[in-house]
Chains A and B, each alone.
Chain A
């Protein structure tokens, strides 16, 4: 028994021929991705946005919270000390946008993680075990999908103290259902394949099969969903913040900067335009990136070519 076991193991863990094919697969994916010009643009934008958020402290010319009432309502370019102007309290708009971006991206990425982890766990468990477990979990997914997401988000957001963590978790809790469905259907096809039967055959535990065999092979759709979920999470954060249940002032987020700017539409329209442009750009970049990844990784497209 030991010899056969070892042989199977050797075959499963040392796929020298497979690695070569895997590499060419990765190169093929990369080639297909690079051909998608908007996706490349989205990818570059995402890198820029992430680094601007990471180095917000260094890039900001001023403290985003410093109030200077003598410098109120500068237009962009009016004073070179404040390249993008100032708001109603004389705070530097550029610094606030950079720090707001930090908030948006932290929430976007944390919420995406919560979404993807919850969705993947439920999707894998549901697809792998099937039967009544699958039935109950999928009915739970259906039930959650009956509630309009913004309604659910706002009710829960109104109940809890808004922090970066709590808002990310709320967004994650209300948006994991699609991921669960995508992962489950992926698992259902994977489950029928020989390598899973082999794993069951030599007695791997359920957890091992789910974590070591199924999860890595379902990574492509999870990666695509994750990228697109950052986009929706950034959008959702701006919705809650705009309606006043998200990140609280004086801390800047793109959503609450917009709420603020609404009152000064006539005087300084730029105050309202800039945060919206930033939200749109961020969401769009992640959407393009996710779309490109899907085109590059989708096996159905592969068959077409």
Chain B
């Protein structure tokens, strides 16, 4: 097991390097490079920019710049925001709890519902339920998330006035968890919908594959009740590939969170990203790219280790 974990860790290193090279490259592709925002400012002269370049080491050869940038990244020095000069790492970390709450809640709910739908669909294959579930999933996957969110706001916030249209708390209610819950309902529903759709498809095919195997037939032949065959015999094996998929889902979760947070004004990292985009805050944008990518790498690593822990066959490979 330890050997396996070490191997996976080693495998993550080239990924980290690759991600940092792409992130660094993008920053230099930006119009005007990392100092683009200064070139647009008429009070900053060309000489000033040259001086700033020397201060930031931007006159150095590109590989020297990369090494020092990557070194800073490792030590937590992710640069400073153009406006306000705050450390980027802190700015991002501030927004993480809100996203973690929204995305975590949506993901957990979606996995519960999606697995249940997929399992039922696989057990009652070609039934009306299965047909409705697969068609419904396809339908949900075709919704543009932002449109679904807008419609939800229109119906439940504007017309029916049941739920708030956005934000995390009403004015003066900061810290009130009941109020927070009310604000969570719509964004969670919107963000989970797509994940439920994907997840029900995954779990359906995973269950179908397991249900077709001989040991399930043996269990049926032995007279094990159908419910137990599904929960005790089929479920553990069908869940294994789903654990690995959890890691693969992470980038989609981030993308979905970005859109959802934008529509609902949810103060998470997705919202931060869109705000940074409008303000051309390149250090924040690049920090966010690196942050999400590193998060995805770690998530995949954990998912792989999780799979290896429950499935000894993987460890032996």
B297, closest chain A residue (CB): A146
Report chain A residues within 8 Å CB of B274: 154, 243
Q: Kindly state whether residue A107 has any CB partner on chain B within 8 Å.
A: no
Q: Quick check: A145 and B251 within 8 Å, CB to CB?
A: yes
Please give the distance in Å from A301's CB to the nearest CB on chain B.
12
Please give the distance in Å from B201's CB to the nearest CB on chain A.
10
Q: Quick check: A150 and B258 within 8 Å, CB to CB?
A: yes
Q: Kindly state whether residue B43 has any CB partner on chain A within 8 Å.
A: no
Q: Kindly state whether residue A29 has any CB partner on chain B within 8 Å.
A: no
Given the contacts A139-B15, A284-B138, A239 and B26 also touching, CB distance less than 8 Å: no
- Complex interface bits, B277-291 against A, C-beta within 8 A gives 1, otherwise 0: 100100001001100
Please give the distance in Å from B216's CB to the nearest CB on chain A.
17
- Complex interface bits, B141-164 against A, C-beta within 8 A gives 1, otherwise 0: 111111110110110001000000
Q: Kindly state whether residue B112 has any CB partner on chain A within 8 Å.
A: no
Q: Quick check: A258 and B297 within 8 Å, CB to CB?
A: no
Interface size class of A (residues with CB under 8 A): 35 or more
Choose one: B19, B252, B285; the contact of A143 (CB below 8 Å).
B19
A156, closest chain B residue (CB): B26
Task: Among A145, A245, A266, find the residue whose CB has the most chain B CB atoms closer than 10 A.
Answer: A145
In terms of DSSP, what is the predominant structure of the interface of chain A? helix
Q: Quick check: B143 and A280 within 8 Å, CB to CB?
A: yes
Choose one: A140, A148, A159, A242; the contact of B254 (CB below 8 Å).
A148
Q: Quick check: B18 and A142 within 8 Å, CB to CB?
A: yes
Q: Kindly state whether residue B135 has any CB partner on chain A within 8 Å.
A: yes
A149, closest chain B residue (CB): B255
Residues 267-317 (chain B) with a chain A CB within 8 angstroms: 273-274, 277, 280, 285, 288-289, 292-293, 296-297
Given the contacts A38-B135, A147-B251, A287 and B18 also touching, CB distance less than 8 Å: no
Please give the distance in Å from B149's CB to the nearest CB on chain A.
10
Q: Kindly state whether residue B206 has any CB partner on chain A within 8 Å.
A: no
* Cα of A272 to Cα of B273 in the assembled complex, Å: 25
Report chain A residues within 8 Å CB of B258: 148, 150-151, 154
Please give the distance in Å from B197's CB to the nearest CB on chain A.
11
Q: Quick check: B154 and A272 within 8 Å, CB to CB?
A: yes
Q: Kindly state whether residue A279 has any CB partner on chain B within 8 Å.
A: yes
Residues 274-302 (chain A) with a chain B CB within 8 angstroms: 275-276, 279-281, 283-284, 287-288, 291
Report chain A residues within 8 Å CB of B18: 139-140, 142-143, 146
Number of A-B residue pairs with CB-CB distance less than 8 Å in the complex they form: 124
Report chain B residues within 8 Å CB of A276: 143-144, 147-148, 150-151
Please give the distance in Å from B249's CB to the nearest CB on chain A.
11
* Cα of A79 to Cα of B47 in the assembled complex, Å: 62
Q: Quick check: B255 and A150 within 8 Å, CB to CB?
A: yes
Interface size class of B (residues with CB under 8 A): 35 or more
Q: Kindly state whether residue B14 has any CB partner on chain A within 8 Å.
A: yes
Given the contacts A266-B158, A280-B143, A148 and B22 also touching, CB distance less than 8 Å: no
* Cα of A142 to Cα of B297 in the assembled complex, Å: 10
Report chain B residues within 8 Å CB of A17: none
Given the contacts A158-B277, A239-B259, A276-B150, A152 and B31 also touching, CB distance less than 8 Å: no
* Cα of A150 to Cα of B147 in the assembled complex, Å: 16
A262, closest chain B residue (CB): B150
* Cα of A13 to Cα of B132 in the assembled complex, Å: 47
* Cα of A158 to Cα of B277 in the assembled complex, Å: 7
Please give the distance in Å from A100's CB to the nearest CB on chain B.
13
Q: Quick check: B293 and A146 within 8 Å, CB to CB?
A: yes
B296, closest chain A residue (CB): A146
Q: Quick check: B262 and A243 within 8 Å, CB to CB?
A: yes
Q: Quick check: A155 and B139 within 8 Å, CB to CB?
A: no
Report chain B residues within 8 Å CB of A279: 144, 147
Report chain B residues within 8 Å CB of A146: 15, 18-19, 251, 293, 296-297
Q: Kindly state whether residue A202 has any CB partner on chain B within 8 Å.
A: no
Q: Quick check: A272 and B19 within 8 Å, CB to CB?
A: no
Task: Among B144, B259, B292, B296, find the residue whose CB has the most chain A CB atoms closer than 10 A.
Answer: B144
Q: Quick check: A142 and B138 within 8 Å, CB to CB?
A: no
Report chain A residues within 8 Å CB of B150: 258, 262, 265, 272, 276
Task: Among B145, B146, B254, B259, find the residue whose CB has the most chain A CB atoms closer than 10 A.
Answer: B146
* Cα of A145 to Cα of B147 in the assembled complex, Å: 26
Given the contacts A151-B292, A155-B285, A159-B30, A265 and B297 also touching, CB distance less than 8 Å: no
B31, closest chain A residue (CB): A159
Residues 129-178 (chain A) with a chain B CB within 8 angstroms: 139-140, 142-152, 154-156, 158-159
User: What residues of chain A have their CB less than 8 Å away from a CB belonging to chain B?
Assistant: 38, 139-140, 142-152, 154-156, 158-159, 231, 235, 238-239, 242-243, 245, 255, 258, 262, 265-266, 269, 272-273, 275-276, 279-281, 283-284, 287-288, 291
Top 5 closest A-B pairs, CB basis?
Answer: A143-B18, A276-B147, A284-B142, A150-B255, A148-B254
* 29 residue pairs A–B, Cβ–Cβ below 8 Å: A38-B135, A38-B138, A142-B18, A146-B251, A147-B251, A147-B296, A149-B255, A150-B259, A151-B288, A151-B292, A154-B277, A155-B289, A159-B30, A238-B146, A239-B145, A239-B259, A242-B144, A242-B146, A245-B277, A255-B144, A258-B147, A265-B150, A272-B150, A272-B154, A276-B150, A280-B142, A280-B147, A281-B142, A291-B138
For the complex with contacts A148-B296, A151-B254, 14 further pairs of A-B residues with Cβ separation under 8 Å are A142-B15, A143-B15, A146-B293, A146-B297, A147-B22, A150-B258, A156-B29, A231-B142, A258-B144, A266-B158, A269-B154, A276-B150, A276-B151, A281-B142
